């Protein structure tokens, strides 16, 4: 079965043109709230963008040049991206947690000419890292340091605050704006498998990625977006930064995830919309100060994605956030935020599925031969439509593996679709545990265990077994002051009516699950950990 609807790319314009248009009509409309840097109107930001575009152009950065943007959720992130849009350069967004290894790989792959980083952030010296990378990377002509006006400039090293003190915009022209079909940005996947791949966006794709939500939920210029998801990752970049410009709204930035501070910011700025990973929802729903801060009473829409949401968390969110419609969000860097639940979705869809395709997307579930499976059967989820990116930048073989000639993208997610078109993600194809020839979906087991009162978080992975091939191992983050043993866990599975072959046969306690910047569990790391532990135990 295919869930589909028509495309709508009307009113697609460059994000920078949207900025300038609003700034001319309503210069005092508030655009950015940055607790550490101030409040900036559309007029303020338009002036900064014109200045930076002229400054970068004077440094030789122009159409088609690759610029890596690795900044926290600071106001300059928006200014830099929009300035790059003006001059036709390509924005590469990278999570702030990446270090030399990841950046070196991206620089080598893209041939980046410019790297934009904070001088320092959260105790790490990005400036020193960037200087080292520039010395080793051919073609990396410029490093732009942000956040330290006292940083020292030198050949090839510029300081954002110093650069912005000069009226570059009065000293020359900038190149013509790019076309809507030109490459606008590269979104690098966060790497649940450890691989880095750059998905190619043009302006049409970026617009379509948000138009589905706008059509479904009626988002408009009155909405205040809470920008706590990293802007350097797909969710923050598309559904916070770009969404703000698309609707002409306002964005409230938070540069580090602190749930108590998030509650304060949401209440103070009366935020109405947020799209975040599952751990963000978990932290807010179970925060002791939630009720004291109004239980997110201004937030009318909370889209939660990045990883499957345990059913218990969705039900608890309904109670804890009575003013908010909380919906699952399924999507990927390569195909946008494809599926959510509409406002009128029945509770069983809201709590037990990952949504239905937005108006400009199609979804289907196929078997190993590429044929659609019956409703309710598991298979690989495929996506097609206006949100799907152009492929992976300079990675032709990987593009051919995942992006088909007829427009379908192979997601690598295992899923099932019901007769109404709602999907349920049951795991990653590569994460399936095959125990004695029987396929076990980790997501199903994780959802059951998450409801245990002693479990704060959990991930199920396969561990090697000579006789059965694999058995299940549960990595458990215990709730405060508790511990869980294997017998208790298996008794819980039995009480829940889960078939015995699906029960985890080993439990490992861990302080925190290894996560990608988007909130997905890096299961490849957990598999490496349990494999190494078993080698040590068995002396292999």
Helix, strand, coil percentages, rounded to 5, for the chain: 35, 25, 40
315, two tokens: 């039900």
| Secondary structure letter of residue 238 according to DSSP | I
Strands (E), 72-166: 90-93, 114-118, 142-146, 157-159
Alpha-carbon span 423 to 380, nearest angstrom: 11
pTM of the model: 0.84
Please name the helix (run of DSSP H) or strand (run of DSSP E) that holds residue 64, with its range, or none.
none
pLDDT digits (tens, 9 = 90+) for 184-234: 999 998 554 456 899 999 999 999 999 999 999 999 999 999 999 999 999
Average pLDDT across the chain, whole number: 92
The pLDDT of residue 470 is 86
- Whether 299 contacts 269, CB under 8 Å: no
The pLDDT of residue 187 is 96
Task: Please enumerate, as own/partner, the contacts of 35-42 that have beta carbons within 8 Å and a separation of 24 or more.
Answer: 35/253, 35/254, 35/265, 36/74, 36/255, 37/74, 37/75, 37/76, 38/75, 40/75
The pLDDT of residue 128 is 95
Alpha-carbon span 340 to 303, nearest angstrom: 8
The pLDDT of residue 540 is 54
Alpha-carbon span 262 to 266, nearest angstrom: 6
| 497 confidence band (pLDDT: 50, 70, 90) | confident
The pLDDT of residue 6 is 33
* pLDDT at 390 > cutoff 90: yes
| 437 confidence band (pLDDT: 50, 70, 90) | low
Alpha-carbon span 314 to 349, nearest angstrom: 11
CB-based contacts of 410: which residues, under 8 Å, 6+ apart?
380, 382, 401, 402, 403, 404
Name the 3-class secondary structure at 58: helix
Residues constituting the chain: 540
The pLDDT of residue 190 is 57
| Secondary structure letter of residue 343 according to DSSP | T
Closest to 246 measured CA to CA, from 484, 19, 497, 498: 19
Residue ranges of domains in the chain, CATH in brackets: 16-26+35-188 (3.40.50.980), 211-340+348-372+379-429 (3.40.50.12780), 432-538 (3.30.300.30)
Name the 3-class secondary structure at 464: strand
Mean pLDDT of 139-148: 96
- Whether 480 contacts 430, CB under 8 Å: no
- Whether 353 contacts 424, CB under 8 Å: yes
Name the 3-class secondary structure at 352: helix
* pLDDT at 427 > cutoff 60: yes
* pLDDT at 7 > cutoff 50: no
| Residue indicated by tokens 């954002």 | 160
pLDDT digits (tens, 9 = 90+) for 46-73: 999 999 999 999 999 999 999 999 999 9
* pLDDT at 9 > cutoff 80: no
The pLDDT of residue 278 is 87
> Kind of pairing, strands 423-428 and 409-417?
antiparallel
Alpha carbon 419 to chain centroid, angstroms: 29
The pLDDT of residue 196 is 82
The pLDDT of residue 518 is 66
Cβ count within 10 A of residue 327: 26
Alpha-carbon span 371 to 388, nearest angstrom: 21
| 310 confidence band (pLDDT: 50, 70, 90) | confident
* pLDDT at 110 > cutoff 90: yes
The pLDDT of residue 256 is 94
317, two tokens: 């969110």
pLDDT digits (tens, 9 = 90+) for 92-103: 999 898 899 889
* pLDDT at 172 > cutoff 90: no
* pLDDT at 501 > cutoff 70: yes
224, two tokens: 């205040």
Strands (E), 189-317: 198-202, 224-227, 250-253, 273-277, 301-305
How much of the chain, in percent, has pLDDT values that exceed 90? 77
The pLDDT of residue 194 is 54
Side-chain-side CA neighbours of residue 396 (13 Å)? 0
Alpha-carbon span 372 to 329, nearest angstrom: 23
Mean pLDDT of 330-359: 95
The pLDDT of residue 1 is 44
* pLDDT at 288 > cutoff 90: yes
The pLDDT of residue 179 is 86
The pLDDT of residue 171 is 82
The pLDDT of residue 3 is 47
pLDDT digits (tens, 9 = 90+) for 507-530: 999 999 998 766 778 888 999 999
The pLDDT of residue 195 is 67
Q: What Cα–Cα distance (Å) separates residue 142 from each residue in 112, 164, 174, 219, 415?
A: 9, 16, 18, 38, 44
- Whether 307 contacts 520, CB under 8 Å: yes
Task: Please enumerate, as own/partner, the contacts of 152-161 that have beta carbons within 8 Å and a separation of 24 or more.
Answer: 157/131, 158/59, 159/119, 160/76, 160/80, 160/116
* pLDDT at 169 > cutoff 70: yes
Higher-pLDDT residue of 499, 128? 128
Query: What are the two backbone dihedrals, phi and then psi, of residue 328, each rounded to the nearest 5 degrees?
Result: -65, 150
Higher-pLDDT residue of 7, 75? 75
Strand-pairing partners, residue 39, are 33
| Residue indicated by tokens 């043009």 | 202
- Whether 413 contacts 379, CB under 8 Å: no
């Amino acid at each position: 079965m295919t869930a589909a609807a028509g495309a709508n790319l009307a009113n697609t314009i460059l994000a920078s043109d949207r900025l300038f248009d609003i700034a001319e009509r309503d210069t005092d409309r508030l655009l950015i709230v940055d607790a550490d840097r101030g409040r900036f109107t559309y007029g303020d930001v338009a002036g900064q963008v014109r200045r930076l575009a002229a400054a970068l152009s004077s440094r030789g950065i122009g159409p088609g040049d690759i610029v890596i943007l690795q900044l926290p959720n600071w106001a300059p992130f928006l200014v830099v991206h929009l300035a790059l849009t003006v001059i036709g350069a390509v924005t590469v967004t990278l999570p702030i947690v990446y270090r030399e290894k990841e950046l070196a790989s991206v620089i080598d792959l893209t041939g980046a000419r410019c790297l934009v980083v904070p001088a320092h952030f959260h105790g790490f010296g990005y400036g020193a890292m960037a200087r080292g990378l520039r010395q080793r990377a051919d073609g990396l002509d410029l490093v732009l340091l942000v956040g330290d006006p006292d940083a020292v400039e030198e050949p090839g090293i510029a300081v954002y605050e110093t650069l912005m003190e000069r009226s570059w915009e009065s000293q020359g022209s900038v190149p013509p704006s790019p076309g809507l079909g030109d490459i606008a940005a590269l979104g690098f996947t966060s790497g649940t498998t450890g691989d880095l791949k750059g998905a190619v966006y043009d302006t049409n794709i970026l617009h379509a990625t948000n138009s589905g939500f706008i059509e479904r939920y009626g988002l408009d210029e009155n909405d205040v977006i809470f920008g706590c998801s990293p802007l350097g990752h797909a969710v923050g970049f598309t559904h916070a930064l770009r969404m703000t410009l698309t609707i002409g709204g306002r964005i409230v930035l938070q540069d580090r995830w602190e749930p108590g501070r998030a509650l304060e910011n949401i209440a103070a700025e009366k935020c109405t919309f947020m799209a975040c990973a599952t751990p963000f929802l978990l932290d807010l729903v179970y925060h002791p100060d939630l009720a004291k801060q109004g239980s997110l009473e201004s937030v009318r829409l909370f889209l939660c994605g990045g990883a499957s949401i345990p059913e218990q968390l969705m039900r608890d969110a309904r109670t804890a956030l009575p003013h908010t419609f909380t919906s699952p969000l399924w999507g990927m860097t390569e195909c946008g935020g494809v599926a959510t639940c509409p406002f009128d979705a029945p509770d069983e869809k809201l709590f037990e599925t990952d949504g239905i395709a937005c108006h400009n997307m199609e979804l289907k579930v196929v078997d190993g031969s590429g044929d659609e499976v019956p409703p309710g059967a598991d298979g690989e989820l495929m996506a097609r439509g206006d949100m799907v990116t152009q492929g992976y930048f300079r990675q032709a073989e990987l593009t051919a593996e995942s992006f088909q000639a007829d427009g379908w993208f192979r997601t690598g997610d295992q899923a099932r679709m019901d007769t109404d078109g709602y999907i349920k993600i049951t795991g990653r194809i590569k994460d399936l545990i095959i125990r004695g020839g029987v396929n076990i979906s980790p997501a199903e087991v994780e959802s059951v265990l998450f409801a245990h009162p002693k479990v704060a978080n959990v991930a199920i992975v396969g561990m090697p077994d000579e006789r059965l091939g694999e058995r299940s191992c549960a990595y458990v983050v215990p709730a405060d002051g508790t511990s869980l043993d294997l017998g208790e866990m298996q008794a819980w599975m039995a009480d829940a009516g889960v078939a015995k072959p699906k029960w985890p046969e080993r439990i490992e306690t861990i302080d925190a699950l290894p996560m990608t910047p988007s909130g997905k569990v890096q299961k490849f790391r957990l598999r490496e950990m349990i494999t190494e532990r078993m080698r040590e135990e068995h002396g292999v």
